[in-house]
Amino acid sequence: MLAQLAPDELDAYMERGSLRAYSDRTVVSAQGMHDILDHVRMDGYSLVDEELGIGLRSLAVPVWGASGAVPAALNVGVQVNRVSAAQMIKKLLPVLIGGAQDPSVLLP
Protein backbone atom coordinates (compact mmCIF):
# COMPACT_ATOMS: atom_id res chain seq x y z
CA MET A 1 0.00 0.00 0.00
CA LEU A 2 2.93 2.32 0.64
CA ALA A 3 4.07 1.85 -2.95
CA GLN A 4 0.89 3.57 -4.16
CA LEU A 5 1.37 6.75 -2.14
CA ALA A 6 2.31 9.93 -3.96
CA PRO A 7 6.02 10.78 -3.54
CA ASP A 8 5.35 13.64 -1.12
CA GLU A 9 3.00 11.45 0.96
CA LEU A 10 5.59 8.69 1.08
CA ASP A 11 8.32 11.11 2.14
CA ALA A 12 6.09 12.49 4.90
CA TYR A 13 5.29 8.95 6.07
CA MET A 14 8.99 8.03 6.17
CA GLU A 15 9.84 11.21 8.12
CA ARG A 16 7.17 10.54 10.76
CA GLY A 17 8.45 7.12 11.73
CA SER A 18 11.58 5.09 12.01
CA LEU A 19 12.41 1.85 10.27
CA ARG A 20 13.01 -1.00 12.70
CA ALA A 21 14.78 -4.27 11.95
CA TYR A 22 12.75 -7.41 12.59
CA SER A 23 15.46 -9.71 11.20
CA ASP A 24 18.92 -9.36 9.74
CA ARG A 25 17.24 -9.09 6.30
CA THR A 26 15.02 -6.12 7.17
CA VAL A 27 15.67 -2.98 5.12
CA VAL A 28 16.06 -0.08 7.54
CA SER A 29 17.21 2.78 5.30
CA ALA A 30 14.82 5.25 3.70
CA GLN A 31 16.63 4.93 0.36
CA GLY A 32 16.43 1.14 0.55
CA MET A 33 12.69 1.36 1.19
CA HIS A 34 12.23 3.76 -1.70
CA ASP A 35 14.09 1.34 -3.99
CA ILE A 36 11.94 -1.59 -2.85
CA LEU A 37 8.74 0.40 -3.27
CA ASP A 38 9.80 1.41 -6.80
CA HIS A 39 10.07 -2.29 -7.66
CA VAL A 40 6.74 -3.07 -5.99
CA ARG A 41 5.10 -0.31 -8.01
CA MET A 42 6.57 -1.66 -11.27
CA ASP A 43 5.94 -5.36 -10.52
CA GLY A 44 2.46 -4.93 -9.05
CA TYR A 45 3.21 -7.12 -6.03
CA SER A 46 5.44 -7.33 -2.99
CA LEU A 47 7.50 -10.35 -1.97
CA VAL A 48 8.88 -10.17 1.56
CA ASP A 49 11.51 -12.85 2.05
CA GLU A 50 12.43 -13.23 5.74
CA GLU A 51 12.48 -9.45 6.23
CA LEU A 52 9.70 -9.51 8.81
CA GLY A 53 10.86 -12.69 10.51
CA ILE A 54 13.25 -15.56 9.93
CA GLY A 55 11.39 -18.42 8.27
CA LEU A 56 8.52 -16.25 7.00
CA ARG A 57 7.96 -15.39 3.35
CA SER A 58 4.93 -13.41 2.21
CA LEU A 59 3.42 -12.16 -1.01
CA ALA A 60 0.97 -9.26 -1.29
CA VAL A 61 -0.99 -7.50 -4.02
CA PRO A 62 -2.93 -4.23 -3.91
CA VAL A 63 -6.71 -4.14 -3.99
CA TRP A 64 -7.61 -1.16 -6.17
CA GLY A 65 -10.75 0.72 -5.23
CA ALA A 66 -13.21 2.24 -7.67
CA SER A 67 -11.68 5.66 -6.90
CA GLY A 68 -8.25 4.53 -8.12
CA ALA A 69 -6.83 4.41 -4.59
CA VAL A 70 -5.52 1.31 -2.82
CA PRO A 71 -7.63 0.93 0.34
CA ALA A 72 -6.55 -2.67 1.01
CA ALA A 73 -4.19 -5.48 0.07
CA LEU A 74 -4.34 -9.26 -0.09
CA ASN A 75 -1.49 -11.20 1.46
CA VAL A 76 -0.41 -14.79 1.94
CA GLY A 77 2.38 -15.98 4.20
CA VAL A 78 4.29 -19.25 4.07
CA GLN A 79 7.18 -21.00 5.79
CA VAL A 80 10.35 -20.59 3.73
CA ASN A 81 11.25 -24.26 4.07
CA ARG A 82 7.93 -25.32 2.51
CA VAL A 83 7.38 -22.90 -0.40
CA SER A 84 10.03 -21.16 -2.49
CA ALA A 85 9.76 -17.59 -3.70
CA ALA A 86 9.54 -18.86 -7.28
CA GLN A 87 6.67 -21.19 -6.36
CA MET A 88 4.83 -18.32 -4.69
CA ILE A 89 5.12 -16.16 -7.77
CA LYS A 90 4.16 -18.95 -10.16
CA LYS A 91 1.29 -20.51 -8.20
CA LEU A 92 0.04 -18.03 -5.60
CA LEU A 93 0.46 -14.68 -7.34
CA PRO A 94 -2.21 -15.38 -10.00
CA VAL A 95 -4.65 -16.43 -7.26
CA LEU A 96 -3.98 -13.26 -5.25
CA ILE A 97 -4.34 -11.06 -8.31
CA GLY A 98 -7.64 -12.73 -9.20
CA GLY A 99 -8.92 -12.33 -5.67
CA ALA A 100 -7.87 -8.70 -5.51
CA GLN A 101 -9.86 -7.90 -8.65
CA ASP A 102 -13.20 -9.16 -7.29
CA PRO A 103 -13.70 -6.97 -4.21
CA SER A 104 -12.11 -3.88 -5.74
CA VAL A 105 -15.39 -2.78 -7.31
CA LEU A 106 -16.94 -2.72 -3.83
CA LEU A 107 -14.27 -0.56 -2.21
CA PRO A 108 -14.22 3.24 -2.42
- Per 3-state DSSP, what percentage of the chain is helix, strand, and coil (rounded to 5)? 45, 20, 35
What pLDDT is attached to residue 108? 61
Contact 105, 66 (CB under 8 A): yes
C-alpha 57/C-alpha 51 separation (Å) is: 8
Tell me the domain boundaries of the chain: 2-106
* Residue 31, φ and ψ in degrees, nearest 5: -65, -40
**Which of 30, 29, 104, 25 has the alpha carbon at shortest distance from 67?**
104
pLDDT tens profile 43-68:
999 999 999 999 999 999 999 887 88
What pLDDT is attached to residue 104? 54
What is the second-level CATH architecture of the domain 2-106?
2-Layer Sandwich (3.30)
